[in-house]
Amino acid sequence: MSGGRGRMGGRGLGPGGECVCPNCGYRVSHSRGEPCYNKTCPKCGAKMTRA
């Protein structure tokens, strides 16, 4: 086993992955090149952070 990208469905930081709102806990998935700190929570408007 090499490569290390074989596990889907777990938690863990993949490429892309999720952003989480530190304020309300709302999570969104995001894609590469779109940093969490550039996103705002759709629920409360706080800056998102990396999950």
Where along the sequence are the contacts to Zn ion (CB under 5 A)?
21, 23-24, 26, 41, 43-44, 46
DSSP 1-50: --SS----SS-S--SS-EEE-TTT--EEE--TT--GGG-B-TTT-PBPEE
Of 14 and 44, which CB lies nearer to Zn ion in the complex structure?
44
Closest distance of CB 37 from Zn ion, Å: 14
Closest distance of CB 34 from Zn ion, Å: 17
Closest distance of CB 46 from Zn ion, Å: 5
Unique residue bearing structure tokens 């705002």: 40
